Amino acid sequence: MMGDGITIIFNPRAGGNKQRFLSAILQRAGVKAELLQTTHPGHARELARRVRAGRRLYVAGGDGSLNEALNGLLDAQIDGHEVPPLGIIPLGTANVLAVEVGLGVNTRAVASYIHDPVYVWVRPGLLNGRAFFLMVGIGADADTVANVSLRLKRLIGKGAYVLEGLRNIAFPRHRDFEVHIGRDQYRVAGVVATHASHYGGKFIISPDASLTENKLDVVMMPASGSLATARYGLALTMNRLFRQSDVSVVRTERLTITSHCGPAPVQIDGENAGALPCEISLSPYPVRLLVPRAYFNATSQKDGQMGASSQPLQIASQ
């Protein structure tokens, strides 16, 4: 059993509507929560690191905020501390992790999820030591994340990424990378190392990828230029990228990527994460991810993964 209540990390700059949505969720769920508000970039990581193991920790935000909290939990584990299970209250521009586990974004669905908590064990990915739940991208998607207008993102949300993606198609950058997986080497123009089957929302990038697998799916795209980038993008929106004749998908626990085209950005869970070269692997420190019961049941039946728990977790009632 999990102990004595709920902690929520929330960015007050998310806006009034999202604050009201969070209040409505908690009211419908009938729970009291300790609310920790972030004040600066990286603060969610600092806050998560200090949450004690007896509580449940939720992040009210998007994939970037969840990534920060995940890294805080790994920091605590590295320091020898037990950590709480981590849950999602989807409020951000991107909520791919919520889509991945089948969590709806309406008040009823999130409140029900808070009321019926179960968890699966996840070994997060690591990019040069930084943890991620979802994926690492290098190529056109990383260029999009690195160059998207933050002002436009605040105004139109996901549309800012669409506009920047179209600009990358119209004015492609030369990209030439080398992916090393074991003894094999691949020359590519774009690569996504993913722990999740979904990408950018509800699009399927690799149907066999799973958060609970001890492997990453490495999706490699060799062709470059406007036509190739447009073809890959269209195939992704049709959930057929992995079926393209020139696209390779390799499953592995570890890979390295180097650049043959000078400095190139890297994106991690939809956030800019520096530049190549990089080493990608799986963390030795697993975390408990709170998921809807339907996802737990489907995952358990699919692969008998390493430590899902259907045992109810105690919640604090009003």
Residue 315 has pLDDT above 70, yes or no: no
Confidence of residue 238 (pLDDT cuts 50, 70, 90): very high
How do residues 85-143 score in pLDDT, each as one tens digit? 999 999 887 799 999 999 998 999 999 999 888 999 999 999 999 999 999 999 999 99
The predicted structure's pLDDT at residue 170: 85
The predicted structure's pLDDT at residue 44: 97
The predicted structure's pLDDT at residue 247: 98
Residue from 74, 93, 71, 77 nearest 11 by CA:
93
Residue 2: phi and psi, rounded to 5, are -90, 145
The predicted structure's pLDDT at residue 14: 60
Confidence of residue 318 (pLDDT cuts 50, 70, 90): very low
Residue 314 has pLDDT above 70, yes or no: no
Q: Percentage of the chain surpassing pLDDT 70?
A: 92
pLDDT, mean over the chain: 90
Q: For 6-122+286-303, CATH number?
A: 3.40.50.10330
The predicted structure's pLDDT at residue 226: 94
Residue 246 has pLDDT above 50, yes or no: yes
How do residues 158-204 score in pLDDT, each as one tens digit? 787 878 888 888 888 889 999 999 999 999 999 999 999 999 889 99
3-state SS string over the chain? CCCCCEEEEECHHHCHHHHHHHHHHHHHHCECEEEEECCCCCHHHHHHHHCCCCCEEEEEECHHHHHHHHHHHHHHHHCCCCCCCEEEEECCCCCHHHHHCCCCCCHHHHHHHHHCCEEEEECCEEECCEEECCEEEECHHHHHHHHCCHHHHHHHCCHHHHHHHHHHHHCCCCCCEEEEECCEEEEECEEEEECCCEECCCEECCCCCCCCCCCEEEEEECCCCHHHHHHHHHHHHCCCHHHCCCCEEEEECCEEEEECCCCCEEEECCEEEEECCEEEEECCCCEEEEECHHHHHHHHHHHCCCCCECCCCCCCEC
pLDDT average, residue stretch 250-257: 98
Confidence of residue 156 (pLDDT cuts 50, 70, 90): confident
Greater model confidence, 41 or 11? 41
Residue 311 has pLDDT above 80, yes or no: no
Confidence of residue 303 (pLDDT cuts 50, 70, 90): low
The predicted structure's pLDDT at residue 117: 86
Confidence of residue 299 (pLDDT cuts 50, 70, 90): confident
How do residues 275-286 score in pLDDT, each as one tens digit? 999 999 999 999
Residue 307 has pLDDT above 60, yes or no: no
Indicate where the chain has its CATH 3.40.50.10330 domain(s).
6-122+286-303
Fold exhibited by the domain 130-282: Tumour Suppressor Smad4 (2.60.200)
The C-alpha angle with vertex 75 and arms to 179 and 141, in degrees rounded to 5, equals 35
Indicate where the chain has its CATH 2.60.200.40 domain(s).
130-282
Residue 316 has pLDDT above 90, yes or no: no
How do residues 47-75 score in pLDDT, each as one tens digit? 999 999 999 999 999 899 999 999 999 99
